[in-house]
Amino acid sequence: MPTSNLPGRRHTFRKQERLVSRCLFELLISGGKTLNEEPFRLVWKKQHISVRTPVQAAFSVPKKNFKLAVDRNRVKRLMREAYRKNKHSMYALLEQQHIQCIFLWIYSGKILPAYSETEKKIKIILHRFVEDIQKNSR
């Protein structure tokens, strides 16, 4: 049974939506646009990708800020969950305009965030991204 308000849509984060290509990472790092909402940053770039999803995303937490892998993995899990639950309005816009993008989400804080803070900040960044796409498509 779908858990979303949209008929037939489920809040998922599938394997095809994960950014794993080293080549795409290098393109993203060298020429991506940035949106900040401290302590989160979204680096994104319009890029044709070989999968049918509108976005491929990766999540990063620097080892410099969190020495323990369990802490880094916890923050990435929180970021993926917040992204997974809030990406669908953005997906609808990108599919409508036939745009594909690559994302890199980076957490630069030094303390473990609460899920509520993580979700709030990721929603803000996604809203700014949608506004930017709408502004540039006119």
Give the chain's mean pLDDT.
89
Joined together, the tokens standing for residue 79 give: 């970021």
User: DSSP alpha helices (H): ranges in 63-137?
Assistant: 69-86, 88-97, 115-137
In a domain, residue 34? The reply is: yes
Q: What is the count of structural domains for the chain?
A: 1
Beta bridge partners of 44: 33, 103
Taking the alpha carbons at both ends of the chain, their separation in whole angstroms is: 37
10-27 pLDDT, tens digit each: 777 778 889 988 999 999
Q: Would you say residue 103 lies in a domain?
A: yes
Say if 68 falls within a structural domain.
yes
Kindly state the helix (H) or strand (E) to which residue 107 belongs, with its residue range.
strand 101-107
Q: Which pLDDT value is given to residue 119?
A: 96
**Residue-range definition of the domain harbouring residue 71:** 15-137
- Give pLDDT tens digits for 27-42: 999 999 999 999 999 9
Query: What pLDDT, on the 0 to 100 scale, is given for residue 16?
Result: 85
Q: Is residue 10 part of a domain?
A: no
Q: Is residue 45 part of a domain?
A: yes
Residues 53-86 have pLDDT tens digits of 899 999 999 999 999 999 999 999 999 999 999 9
Q: How confident is the model at residue 3 (pLDDT cuts 50, 70, 90)?
A: very low
Q: Is residue 85 part of a domain?
A: yes
Whether 9 shows a pLDDT value over 80: the answer reads no
Q: What is the pLDDT of residue 11?
A: 75
Does residue 6 lie in a domain region? no
| Residue 99's CATH number | 3.30.230.10
User: What value does the mean pLDDT take over residues 107-132?
Assistant: 95
Can you state the angle between helices 69-86 and 88-97, rounded to 10 degrees?
60
Asked if 50 and 87 count as a contact pair (C-beta separation under 8 A), the reply is no
The whole-number pLDDT of residue 2 equals: 38
